[in-house]
Chains A and B, each alone.
Chain A
Amino acid sequence: MEIEITVNGRKRRFDVEPNRLLLNLVRDDLHLTGTKYGCGIGECGACTVHLDGEAVLACMVLAVDADGRSVETIEGVADVNKLDPIQEAYIEEGAIQCGFCTPGFVMTTKALLAENPDPSEAEIREYLKGNYCRCTGYVNIVRAVQSAARKLGS
């Protein structure tokens, strides 16, 4: 099927089978491999991308279902050579260890801070509940989100 999806601000056309997942389209066809395949059943959040501005799980979206819509992946977050304040904060706070979950966390954090620029710790933990990190223990991730909120607010 012929579909058109705007990926990180650029309109792209694809010819896909109906059973192709958005995740695999992004990773294998566009080589945007920042978005990760983790569990494949909507539990780990590693495949989080924004679809029309909302955080969703690319492992459970059919590419044909994204026809005519806009997708933002982790590759669209930084401004050419300048990292986004959220990415900076994750690095500075040591909220990254192996890094596998980080793209998903950054995308969810971006959605959180767009909705709520000054979230409490409880709000951060609740919002990031759908993203798993098996290295950091979350403390530094929460700090990174708080730090990113300050950077974006100032």
Chain B
Amino acid sequence: MTINEVNTHIVPIEFEYHAPESLAEAVGLLEEYGEDAQILAGGTDLIPHMKQRKVEPKHIVNIKRIPGLACIEETPDGFKIGALAKLRTVELSPQIKEKIPLLSEAAQSIGSVQIRNMGTIGGNICNASPSADMATPLLALDATVHIYGRDGARACSIAEFFQGEGGGNLGRGEFITGFTVPYPPMGAGSAFEKVGWTTFDIATVNVAAVVTLKGGKVDHCSIVLGACSPTPVRGVLAEAALIGKEPSAEALEEAVGFIAACVEPRERWRRAPPEYRRRSSQALAMDALTRSIERARRSP
């Protein structure tokens, strides 16, 4: 937005404020008010949008008073991360840094310390923005999204959640309560790369990679490209080209050569034309794979 085109000094719209203290109470409110309601968590997206009248909700449902939605805990299946976990908490968690450094790296890349103290992991994902920085690592690790609604809790894969353009797989009254993020395979190396207008800005392109090696050859490989297609996508052709091969410079060149065929950037997107996104996703995939492989080699 252009500063001074609108008055960002105030929130110019009037709404009724609700602060439910249970999931059931929140669902009741969201179902009742439907399109007229907006969920408030960190507010870093919602409040500026309201200032600009991009959204004009009649009801604000602040879900931060619901207990238990900000927890981070280790389970046998992976980390359970509550939707209300702050990006800063995800970034600094010693357990996440040790076991899933990719998540910590992606969280650290977002905005400023103040923004990360406010913004939540659920808020980064819930509107299914193709440039969401937490989406690329969650997709690379095949995370599960936990959703709550009228019929209780349900879960879907992060890939399913992103199906369809700009919506997210959420029905009336439903909202994200958290994620289960499986641990990367033993000995995996991972990396997150991003380019934006400034280091502060939303990603123009972001890439996450996870690689394991076996006998010097690539055993497991996932590459996810963000902000390059209507949803974050796996670079399946590039992954297939690397698996079973020694990760030589030539093999990497060949693999990332397939990246442009995996993405579908749109002409109308702000920040960069499609060709920039095709080339940058290829270059960032090369960087992410190279760093992942180095880290996998160093891993015990």
Where the two chains meet, the residues of A that have a C-beta atom closer than 8 Å to any C-beta of B are 1, 17-21, 24, 37, 39-43, 45, 48, 54-57, 59-62, 64-65, 67, 108, 111-112, 127, 129-131
Contacts and interface: CB of A to CB of B under 8 A. Distances in A.
A74 to B, nearest CB: 15
B62 interface: yes
16 contacts: A17-B14, A19-B15, A21-B10, A24-B9, A39-B8, A40-B3, A41-B51, A48-B114, A54-B88, A56-B117, A57-B115, A62-B11, A62-B60, A65-B40, A65-B64, A130-B115
A54 B15 contact: no
By secondary structure, the A interface counts as mixed
A19 B55 CA distance: 14
A60 B119 CA distance: 11
Contacts of A17: 14
A20 B11 CA distance: 7
Contact of A130 (B10, B19, B48, B113): B113
Nearest to B60: A18
A45 B114 CA distance: 8
Interface string B1-29: 10100011111111111010000000000
Contacts of B48: 40-42, 60
Contacts of B112: 45, 129-131
A68 to B, nearest CB: 9
Interface size range on B against A: 20 to 34
Given A19-B15, A37-B9, A108-B114, A130 B200 contact: yes
Contacts of B12: 19
Contacts of B117: 54-56
Contact of A62 (B13, B16, B40): B40
Nearest to A51: B117
A60 B47 contact: yes
Nearest to A59: B8
A65 B62 contact: yes
B168 interface: no
Contacts of A61: 43, 47, 118
